[in-house]
Structure 1
Amino acid sequence: MPVMVLTSEYVSLNGIDLSEYARKAELAVEVEEKDVTTYSSAGWKVVIGGLKSGGLDCEFLNDFAATRIDSIMWPLLGAVVPFEVRPTNAAVSVSNPKYTGNVLIKEWKPIEGSVGDEASSSASFPTSGPVLRATS
């Protein structure tokens, strides 16, 4: 059984590779569950898929120097930007698919943590429009 350990995930926002800052990137997609049960369903619930949505949850090690992650993310607050994530930073292939789309940069936590913690920033970005999967 093939297994994989994530050691070199690729994370890009707004066309900028942020992998060097990322320590977590989690893409989740889902579809609404719509109840279409009627009296003719003999007491069984009947559901169909509705609208699709998704989210990209990231955790970054922060860097406040000029041209580093905080100065990249801060101006994006409120913008819808393209994203790309892949299991590894290797070329896109059938064993390393890329997932792309757009996300709303709805939050940025420039300072997060307690005494003695590393300077990190976690954020959740909802998708805007379709999420695509490609192998080439």
Structure 2
Amino acid sequence: MAKSVLLASFISINSVDLSAFASKIELKAEVEDQDVTTFASGGWNERLAGLKSFELGVTWKQDVAASQLDSQLWALFATITTFEVRLSNAVVGTGNPKYTGSVLIKEHAPIAGSVGDVAEMDVSYPGSGALTRATA
């Protein structure tokens, strides 16, 4: 079993590589569980998979200079846009799959922190549609 250390992950939003601004990426997929238990279930719960969903969480290091992170993400606020993430910025392959889909840029936190803190924003973008995994 290969182990990984996240040193140079890749994140693209709206087809723009924003990896240089990200210090944390979390992509979570889940499925609703639907209870289909009946009297014939023998006293055990029975479950089926329902609707699937995913969420992309990112910690961004803020940059408000012209044409940098703040202006790029602000332009996407309240829209659905594409994304791609990979464990490594290396070429996509069986050892480095890419995950793609669309997310709603539902939040933006241009100013957050205390005196002496690094200017960063922790955000979560809910998925819209299917999440895809590819190795080519």
What TM-score do the two structures reach when normalised by structure 2? 0.98
What are the superposed Cα offsets for residues 27-72 of structure 1, whole Å, 9 maximum, x if unpaired? 0000000000000001110000000000000001000000100010
Number of residue pairs matched by the alignment: 136
Which segments of 5 or more consecutive residues in structure 2 lack a partner in the other structure?
none
Which segments of 5 or more consecutive residues in structure 1 lack a partner in the other structure?
none
- Superposed, which structure 2 residues align to 1:40-51 within 5 Å? 40-51=40-51
Kindly indicate whether residue 27 of structure 2 is the aligned counterpart of residue 27 of structure 1: yes
Partner of 2:63: 63
Q: What value does the CA root-mean-square deviation take over the aligned residues?
A: 0.6
Note the C-alpha offset of 1:3: 1.2
Note the C-alpha offset of 1:87: 0.4
Note the C-alpha offset of 1:2: 2.1
What are the superposed Cα offsets for residues 70-112 of structure 1, whole Å, 9 maximum, x if unpaired? 0100011110000000001111010000000000000010011
Partner of 1:76: 76
Q: Which runs of 4+ in 1 moved over 6 A?
A: none
Separation in 2 of the partners of 1:75 and 1:117? 25
Partner of 1:123: 123
Note the C-alpha offset of 1:23: 0.2
Determine what percentage of the aligned residue pairs are the same residue. 49
